[in-house]
Chain A
Amino acid sequence: MSRLEEILSKKKLEIDELQVPEELDARLNKALENKTKGRKSKSGFRMKVAVLLIAFVLVTYNIDTLAFYGKELLGFENIMNGTLRDLNKMGMGQTIDKSFEFSNGVKVTLNGVMADDNQLIAFYTIHNPNGSVDDIHFLSNHMKGAIGLHDPEGGSGELNDDKSTIRWVEEYEPPYAFEKKLIWRFSLLSGSKSEEGEISFVLDRDKAMGHTLKARINKAIEVDGSNVKFDTITASPTTTVVKGTIKNIVELAADQIGGERLYSPNIGIRLLADGKEIAVQGTGVSTDMNGMKFDLRYDALPKDTEKLQLNLTSFAAEHQTDQLVELAGTEAGKHIQIQGQDITIERVDEIKGETFVTITTRDTVVLSKVYLLADNNKVELEETIDNKFEKKIDGTITHTRTLRFKTAAKELKLDIRRIRYEKAYDEYIDIPIE
């Protein structure tokens, strides 16, 4: 063994003996704590919870009489939005009415589908003959087409009185234009076992509604060091989708990820049709190694819309900052600015070996990753307490709160790694309609 390999193998022994810190579990959970997946998370268990909440609305139809009157799907009214309800009344859906039965008797019925260029909507019913549907864990996996797998994007459901039956309206990514035969795949979980099921159907392309407007927008707005680019708009009879990308200027220049990374932005964008605001249905943001993509979903456009505009009203994002703030001599209060955001350190108290730092900022500012450096030891934030909001005469709201750290030391510094703030905008982009 050469001397080099000897040294390398010594290092390996050191790595082998590494102990995973006990707090890892807690830190991973904490990292996910405030994450929401937008529309995509509206499924599975959390969806079931949501269903329970809306289950107060009584279902007046008995499942046995669920039928199609003409081409109108009955029993789903309460979980359809206005646009869908209108389309359903006009008989725009396609009746499927096929069932699958799991070994324990749970029956899944695909009642119908509705498709256009933006989404495929499945109307289905789950019936548990042995008790409540709350006791089963049903997962809708995807719609499989000739070449693509189309994932669920969200939906809502409604339980009947005795909780034996639940009805769902669930949206999926749209199948490709050439995909006619689709297989809906789902599974039923019990413990660690899962049973798969599927229902196949042929999409009636004559029934599919296509789009009313499909246009490239290709316009960008620069906000707060980020480039918000609107790529396309697709208005279909069921919904209107605007897609775009967000890139950080630094990233654009360096043409790489890293650098000044932007975390989970929240953009306030209104869609105006002839000056009237269209209701928002949801926003989805996804990040990958190439940047950030967003899609904004609005209700369907009114007929004969002549003028379409996007209006950017606010932009909130988390920014990397890595600022050290000296806390010594802040007894009388200290005022600092980070990335143009005012932060007042009201006071620093030491009580029973713990440090309490009271700060005031605008209500839209959050120190999203902050540590206390106590004699150069990094201590995590224990909790934020004593939240007070105050409305100023000029309409702005300030937020005063106290950060609690379980340590005390002579030399204290606040180590601000990330800061989240929102800025108001009023920018318009016109969308051409042919």
Chain B
Amino acid sequence: METEVLVRKAKQGDKEALVQLIMAQKQDYYKLAYVYMKNPEDAMDVMEDMIVLLYENIGRLKNESSFYSWSKTILVNCCKNSLKKRSRVVLLDTLREEAGDDPVGRKDEELLLEKHLERLNIKHQEAIRLRYFMDMDYQSIAELLKVPVGTVKSRISIGLSKLKAVLGGEEQ
């Protein structure tokens, strides 16, 4: 009920209500953004992009109770747009800078995982990130990405087998 009242206020242009809605589930939004963007700064950048889009488009949200699923799908799209853009303009020296910034103690395996994950098709890697890092079930992933459950399952299994091939190859 509270949510719907806030959504209605946000629809009338109340910015505070919109921020309040997001902050009520900030952990979920932030984790979701982080899983895609992989660092706090970019995660917050995409959340800024998201809230502007939400503000501009909330009038189109017909069913107030579906605010959270609607806005999270928009967040995922913002992440993907940002990644797409970044993949086009990443400069070699920024890459080097990031590598230098990495904490020394970080385990090789994890670094390797991230590296290989990034090489997967975006569709496969997002399915894996959402399933394992966010601990989401197939149904929720399907709703978030607006694809059938079967597609989610197959993306995860293809992604996993590709990862296994490079990481845990010896087990197969």
The answer to whether A and B assemble together is yes
Chain A interface residues (CB < 8 Å from chain B): 2-5, 7-12, 15, 18, 20-21, 23-25, 27-32, 35, 37, 40-46, 139, 141, 149, 151, 187, 189, 192, 194, 257-259, 261, 285-289, 320, 322, 376, 378
Assess A31 versus B134: contact at CB under 8 Å? Given A4-B160, A25-B19: no
Q: Contacts of A10 on B, CB cut-off 8 Å?
A: 107, 109-110
Interface set, chain B 34-57, CB cutoff 8 A to A = 34-35, 40-41, 44, 47-49, 51-53, 55-57
Q: Is B97 an interface residue (CB 8 A)?
A: yes
Q: Contacts of B26 on A, CB cut-off 8 Å?
A: 20, 24-25
Interface set, chain B 1-17, CB cutoff 8 A to A = 1-2, 5, 8-9, 12-15
Q: Contacts of B18 on A, CB cut-off 8 Å?
A: 32
Chain B interface residues (CB < 8 Å from chain A): 1-2, 5, 8-9, 12-15, 18-19, 22-23, 26-27, 30-31, 34-35, 40-41, 44, 47-49, 51-53, 55-57, 59-60, 62, 77, 80-81, 84-85, 88-89, 97, 107, 109-110, 113, 128, 132-135, 160, 163-164, 167-168, 171
Determine which of A2, A8, A32, A192 lies in contact with B52 in the assembled complex, contact meaning CB atoms within 8 Å. A32
CA of A187 to CA of B64 in the docked complex: distance in angstroms? 14
* Distance between B56 CB and nearest chain A CB, rounded to angstroms: 5
Q: Contacts of A37 on B, CB cut-off 8 Å?
A: 13, 55-56
CA of A10 to CA of B107 in the docked complex: distance in angstroms? 11
Q: Contacts of A8 on B, CB cut-off 8 Å?
A: 113, 128, 132-133
* Distance between B70 CB and nearest chain A CB, rounded to angstroms: 12
CB of A7 within 8 A of CB of B110, answer yes
What 20 new A-B contacts, CB under 8 Å, besides A8-B113, A27-B47? A2-B164, A3-B171, A10-B110, A11-B113, A15-B35, A20-B26, A21-B44, A31-B52, A32-B18, A32-B55, A37-B56, A41-B12, A42-B13, A44-B14, A45-B14, A187-B8, A189-B5, A192-B5, A261-B85, A378-B41
CB of A40 within 8 A of CB of B97, answer no
CA of A362 to CA of B8 in the docked complex: distance in angstroms? 40
CA of A19 to CA of B22 in the docked complex: distance in angstroms? 15
Q: Which of B8, B59, B113 counts the most chain A CB atoms within 10 A?
A: B59
Closest chain A residue to B166, Cβ basis: A4
CB of A27 within 8 A of CB of B48, answer yes
Would you call the interface of chain A mostly helix, strand, loop, or mixed? mixed
CB of A4 within 8 A of CB of B164, answer yes
CA of A3 to CA of B165 in the docked complex: distance in angstroms? 12
CA of A99 to CA of B26 in the docked complex: distance in angstroms? 42
* Distance between A47 CB and nearest chain B CB, rounded to angstroms: 8
CA of A44 to CA of B31 in the docked complex: distance in angstroms? 33
Determine which of B13, B22, B85, B128 lies in contact with A41 in the assembled complex, contact meaning CB atoms within 8 Å. B13
* Distance between B19 CB and nearest chain A CB, rounded to angstroms: 5
CB of B57 within 8 A of CB of A287, answer yes
Closest 3 CB pairs of A and B: A44-B12, A41-B13, A31-B48
CA of A141 to CA of B59 in the docked complex: distance in angstroms? 11
Q: Contacts of A23 on B, CB cut-off 8 Å?
A: 44
Q: Contacts of B47 on A, CB cut-off 8 Å?
A: 24, 27-28
CB of A25 within 8 A of CB of B62, answer no
CA of A428 to CA of B107 in the docked complex: distance in angstroms? 63
Q: Contacts of B164 on A, CB cut-off 8 Å?
A: 2, 4
Closest chain A residue to B101, Cβ basis: A376
Determine which of B41, B51, B62, B84 lies in contact with A32 in the assembled complex, contact meaning CB atoms within 8 Å. B51
